[in-house]
Structure formats: structure tokens, C-alpha cells
A and B are shown apart, each in its own frame.
Chain A
Amino acid sequence: MPLSDLPVEDLADLYENAPCGYVSIAPDGRIAKVNRTLAEWVGRAEEDLVASPFNNLLSFGGKIAVETHLAPMLRLKGQVAEIALDLVGADGSKIPVIVNATEKRGDNGEHVLTRMTLFKAVDRRSYERNLLAAREAAEAETLAEHETATLREQFIAVLGHDLRNPLASLDAGVRLLDKEALSDRGRFILGGMAKSVARASQLIDNVLDLARGRLGGGLVLTRDAKEPVSPVLEQVVAEIQSIVPDRPISTIFAVDEPVYCDRQRIGQLASNLVGNAVAHGAPGSAIQVEARTEGSDFVLSVTNSGETIPPDAREKLFQPFFRGGTGRTRQGLGLGLFIVSEIAKAHDGSIEVISSDGITSFIFSMPRHRYQPATI
């Protein structure tokens, strides 16, 4: 189609009846010019609007917002875009609009006019408000959940802590009774009680560590390399052996170099791994505990025979409250391996599990030396 055939646009008509509102505002805030579209939106005659303050078309909150936010930004930036405002019509109704504005300036940079284009945005604004409300609701829900979780963990921490005292009394009682003359049956029962006390004490330690970790305290380590780590491991194995005298537990400890670690925590890690092997290994089967140094790493592994751990369960093993197995092996809170992985992480180390052909090994390894930042 040749250009001459195109319809001619009438610029005056475009201004007056544009599909958006136009208003030009003098520096003192009075309307200098306004188009028919905008006048019709607010239900007033154009000639009534000219020379009246533009602010009169806004809700009071909008007026404050314009004075405190829009006017300064316009003065500083020369323009603002996509501001959401409500116009107030002659009948008091609110008309949600999106506003773009620029400042027209004179040759010396003086403010001559503020030009505004307004777009009606009823649906868009209500959609945005719905989104905002939904987000606020989601945030409130998350906050409430978080508070509940924190409260629950605080409760666990306090409960665990308070359980320690009566348990310590029980433990002292068992030890005192052990020195008394007892019948065979009495000694058998006392042995069972000692195991139960040890088990309860370990559970409480794990629960407290979990609560501490969740409450932001994290595991606090006291690391040094002043003493050898093997005696701690030997003691852990001896304690467990005394509880399960009929399970063969073999050890190979070849740790000659110093290991920079928290020995008590490494003992806890070993205790959880060996305890885990006792609980989940085939009844009566042997357990191997091996500790050695490999180059700059300290490596501890615990191996037992029993059911192979399925691959999908392996990923979840180290999550809190995960309990594998069924029947006999389903016991405890599922925190032991979680604590193991936390202790490993705290030592900049790692824990992995290899399980195939009925043999399962947990392998912990960590750098033996204190981390030294590389020098340039």
C-alpha cells in the first residue's frame, strides 16, 4: 500500500483520546494540561482539572508517597517508571494505574513541567496484590513452621539434658552393685542393665548433638594433635566388646603420626560406627575396625557382614531420623550416622559407605594436619 493511501493520524485527537491518560504538571503541583481520557477516568471535566492540584486526584496515601518518594526521584533522576498509584474519581472510587513520568527541563536545567503517562491497571494490580498476599501468607507459614521446629528442638535439648542426671545415678548404682556379692542371675541382670544404661546414654548424646547442630550452635571441636588417637579407639572398642562379649571384634590400629582432631568426638564417631555394625551386622558375625594413616590422611573403617544396603538407602543413611532395616534392627532414633557425618564434616573429613556381596564398610577419612592456607 503506498504511503499516500495510509489514513492520516490526527495528533490532537491522539492526545485527547489516547488509550492512556496524559497529564502535565507545573512545578507548583497544579495541572497545566490533561487529556480527555484521564478526565473521563476520574469523572471530571478537563477545564475543571486544569489549574487544580494534581495531588487532589490521589488518595491521601498516594499524596504522601508522591511527596516523599516520587517528587525526589523525579527531581534527581529526571524520570520514574512503573509506579503503582490509585487515582480517586469524582464519585470516590479508586482507579488503579501504573504511572511513568519525566521532567521537562528548560535550557538552564530548570524544572518546567512534569509529564505523566497513566495506564489503567485494574486487573494487573489486583493480580499483583493477590501475589503479594500469597507471598506474605507463605512467609508467615514458613516463619511459624520454623518457630515450631526451633521450639521442638529446644525441647529435645532440654529433655536430653535433664535425662542425663537420673541416668548418671543409675550408672553409679550399677557400678556400685557390680562390686557387691551377687548371684549368677543377679550378675546377669546387672550386665543387661549396664548395656541399657550405656545405650541410653549414647542416644541422649546423639539427640543433644542433633539439637545443638539444629539450633545453630553446631558441633564445637577442641582439636589438637598432642596425644595419640589410638588409645581412645581402643577404649571405645573395649567398651562395646564388654557389652557384646560374644561378638568377635578385631582391630588393626596403625596410627603412628599425630592426628589433629577432637579425640573425644573421634571416639564418639567410632563408637557410633561400631555400635551400628553390632546392631545391623548379621547376628554373631565378626566386625573389623581399622585405623591407619594414609599419606596426609587419617582413615578409620568399620566393616561387618550382613545384608547389603540398597543403593537408594545409602543416600539417606546420613540424614537425621533415618532408620534402615526391619524387625530386630529397627531401633534407636536414626541419629547415629547423622552425628557421624556431622563429626566428619567438622573435621573437614568425609564419610562414605561401601556395601556389596553382604559386606558393608563405613570409611571415615580426614586430613591429619591442621589446615594451612597456601602461601603465595
Chain B
Amino acid sequence: MALKRNNVRVSGQGDRAMMFAHGFGCDQHMWRDVAQGFEVDFKVILFDHVGAGGSDLAAYDSTKYGSLGGYADDVIEIARELDLRDAIFVGHSVSAMIGALAVLKAPDLFSDLVMVGPSPRYIDDGDYVGGFTSGQVGELLQFLADNHLGWSAAMAPAIMGNADRPELGEKLTESFCATDPKIAAEFARVTFFSDNRADLSRVEARTLVLQCRDDIIAPQCVGEWVHAQLPNSEYVLLDATGHCPNLSAPAEVTAAIRAFV
């Protein structure tokens, strides 16, 4: 049931499973270029959070998904249905924290965590620098409201052909990076008002923190803070810039994850 709800795709060969979780704003296609590199020797698991991509929109429940814990419960359900044990969880952006919550709730499922651009709290708080003020989150919500029609259109199954990357046209017959506008607004709220700083020190799993340069969503100081809080972590500062190295620098991300696992 969770497998259908979260549009779970399993590929690759290998005894060990690696589960990739997308962040706010996109869907499992975000991991395409990185996940491919692990299909030779890992069981690769991709999925969409409820509300994104090919997930079951009818399964969305404002109460359940009113906190990141609801999303973590979905991760646990998927892992249980696939009978995972000591697997690797790779979470981008807000899903890094969703992964941390999942291992705290069900420590047997994942032995290793990879956090790409994590942030336990986006909004500044006293000495803690998250990089955001709460008013700025409002501007993001305004953007989502203004682009309501655009995102609805993106839900349409037809995707325009892509002359210079024909493989895209074939692969992405369904929509991608499609998000239900109402759910996107709620996910934005949950994400950018989340505070999971206190949870980090309890995460016992081996963790790799991958940090980009010039990332306005998860600035360098936040990545370093996460690394300092985690009891058992490694920290790698990538050359990649921006918030989505899984798309802008897939080779570098793949190499860093490989070196860790």
C-alpha cells in the first residue's frame, strides 16, 4: 500500500538497499542522474513524497503531513514493506531531516544516512543562523500562489519533446517535479518552519553530510553545525554550487556517496 501511495520504484542489483528521498519542490526524478550510478551494485529505491510526482494525492492528509514526522512514517512504511535492514538512506534537503526522524523511530531499518544540503532549522534563532527570516517564507508561499496555474499545467501527463536530450522524452512519459499547489504550500510551511535541531545528537547511524557552496537554502554554516551535532558523521564540502548538486553535479555527489559507503 505504501509502495503505491508513494510511487515507489525499485531497480538495480545488489544485496544492500539504497533509498533516495527528494526534497521540497521536486520529485524522485531529482535523483535520476545519481541513482543510476548505484544500480550496478545496489538495490536502488526511489519514491515520491505524498503530494509530489506520481504519489497518490488522495492519500494526502493535512494533519498527518502537518509535521515532518508524517513523512518519516511513510519512509518507515516503505522500508518495512520492502523488508529493508541496515539500508542506506540518502535524503536531499528537507528529506535529510526526514531520514534522521525515520532512523530515530526505527533504528533497525537504516544503518547509514547521507544528508545532502541538510538544515535542521531554516529560520534564524538567537545565535543559530539558519539563513531565513519568517517573513521570507511568506514570499515563497506568495510565489507558489502566483504560479498556481503553472504547476497545475505541469501535472499534465504530456511532456514536450526535448531535442537535445531525447532520453528525457522517453523516460519521463509522466509528469515530473509536479506538485499539487495546495499541498506544495503546506509542505513549504512544514519544511521552512521545522526545527529538528534537538534530534540530531540522538542519531546514532553513520552519517555523511554533503554541503554545497553558495547554497542559500542550506548555507555552509548550517552544514557544519549539523556535522558538529551528529555523534557519528563525516563532512564533505562539494565544489558544486546551489542547492541541488544531485542535478547540477551528479558525478561529484555519486563519488562522495561511494567513498562513504
In Å, the complex CA distance between A85 and B148 comes to 12
Is A59 on the interface with B (CB-CB < 8 A)? yes
Give Cα A28–Cα B248 distance, bound, in whole angstroms: 9
A residues within 8 A CB of B215?
67
Cβ B148 vs Cβ A132 within 8 A: yes
Least CB distance, B132 to chain A, in whole angstroms = 8
| Pair B243/A68 contact, Cβ less than 8 Å | yes
Q: B63 at the A/B interface (Cβ < 8 Å)?
A: no
Interface flag for B127 (CB, 8 Å): no
Asked if A72 and B164 make an inter-chain contact with CB atoms under 8 angstroms apart, the answer reads no
Interface membership of chain A positions 64-77, coded 1 if the CB is closer than 8 angstroms to chain B and 0 otherwise: 11011101110111
A105 to B164, CA, bound (A): 8
Cα A82 to Cα B152 in complex, Å, equals 12
Residues of chain B within 8 A (CB-CB) of A62 are 139, 143
Cα separation A163 to B222 with both chains bound (whole Å) = 64
Contact partner of A85 among B29, B32, B143, CB < 8 A?
Answer: B143
Residue contact B142 to A27, C-beta cutoff 8 Å:
no
Q: Which residues from chain B contact A55 at a C-beta distance below 8 Å? A: 216
Q: A61-B136, A77-B168, A109-B164 are in contact. Are A71 and B216 (CB under 8 A)?
A: no
Let me know if A63 is at the binding interface, CB within 8 A.
yes
Annotate B17-31 by CB proximity to A: 1 below 8 A, 0 otherwise: 000000111100110
- Whether a CB of chain B sits under 8 angstroms from the CB of A125 is yes
Main secondary structure of the interface of A (DSSP, over half): helix
Are A125 and B146 interface neighbours, CB within 8 A?
yes
Q: Which of A199-217 contact B (CB under 8 A)?
A: none
Min C-beta distance of A108 to chain B, whole Å: 11
Q: A72–B216 contact, CB under 8 A? A: no
Q: Which of A53, A73, A129 has the most CB of B within 10 A?
A: A73
- Report the Cα distance A71→B148, complex, angstroms: 18
Q: Which of A29, A69, A83, A129 contacts B241 (CB 8 A)?
A: A29
The smallest C-beta distance from A76 to any residue of chain B, in angstroms, reads 6
A164 lies within 8 A of chain B by Cβ: no
Give chain B nearest CB distance to A117 CB in angstroms: 16
Q: Can you name the residue of chain B whose Cβ is closest to the Cβ of A71?
A: B244
A65 and B143: CB pair below 8 A? yes
Query: Which chain B residues lie closer than 8 Å to A53 at the CB level?
Result: 214
Complex contacts, B137 vs chain A, CB 8 Å: 61
Known: A29-B214, A61-B140. A129 touches B146 (CB 8 A): yes
Does A27 lie within 8 Å of B143, measured CB to CB?
A: no
Complex Cα gap A84–B181 (Å): 14
Bound Cα distance from A56 to B146, whole angstroms? 20
- CB-nearest residue of chain B to A70: B25
Residue pair B217, A64 in contact (C-beta under 8 Å)? yes
B247–A72 touching, CB < 8 Å: yes
B244 near A83 (CB under 8 angstroms)?
no
Q: How many residues belonging to A are interface residues under a CB distance threshold of 8 Å?
A: 34
A161 within 8 A of B: no
Q: Does A321 contact B (CB under 8 A)?
A: no
**Closest approach, in angstroms, between the C-beta of B35 and any C-beta of chain A?**
13
Q: Which residues of A contact B214 (CB under 8 A)?
A: 28-29, 53
> Of B29, B136, B164, B217, which is within 8 A of A67 by CB?
B217
A84 in complex: contacting residue of B23, B29, B147, CB < 8 Å:
B147
Q: Does A60 interact with chain B (Cβ within 8 Å)?
A: yes
Contact with A along B57-82 (1 / 0, CB 8 A): 00000000000000000000000000
Chain B nearest CB from A287 CB (Å) reads 51
- Give every chain A residue within 8 A of B146 (Cβ-Cβ): 84, 125, 128-129, 132
Contacts of A82 in B (CB 8 A): 150
Whether a CB of chain A sits under 8 angstroms from the CB of B129 is no
Q: Mark A24-66, 1 if CB is under 8 A from B, else 0.
A: 0001110000000000000000000000010100011111110
Q: Which residues of A contact B242 (CB under 8 A)?
A: 29, 67, 71
Cα distance, A78 to B168, chains bound together (Å): 9
**How far does the alpha carbon of A125 sit from the alpha carbon of B146 in the complex, in Å?**
8
23 A–B pairs (Cβ distance < 8 Å), ordered by A: A60-B136, A61-B137, A61-B139, A61-B143, A63-B216, A64-B139, A65-B25, A67-B216, A68-B26, A68-B243, A72-B177, A73-B177, A75-B248, A76-B29, A76-B172, A76-B247, A77-B159, A79-B160, A79-B162, A84-B147, A109-B165, A111-B248, A128-B146
7 closest A-B pairs by CB: A61-B139, A68-B25, A61-B140, A60-B136, A65-B143, A75-B247, A84-B146
Q: Taking A61-B137, A82-B150 as given, write out 18 further A-B residue pairs in contact, using a Cβ cutoff of 8 Å, ordered by the A residue number.
A: A55-B216, A60-B136, A61-B139, A62-B143, A65-B143, A65-B147, A67-B215, A68-B24, A68-B217, A71-B247, A72-B244, A73-B154, A75-B248, A77-B162, A78-B164, A83-B147, A105-B165, A109-B165
CB within 8 Å of B: which residues of A? 27-29, 53, 55, 59-65, 67-69, 71-73, 75-79, 82-85, 105, 109, 111, 125, 128-129, 132
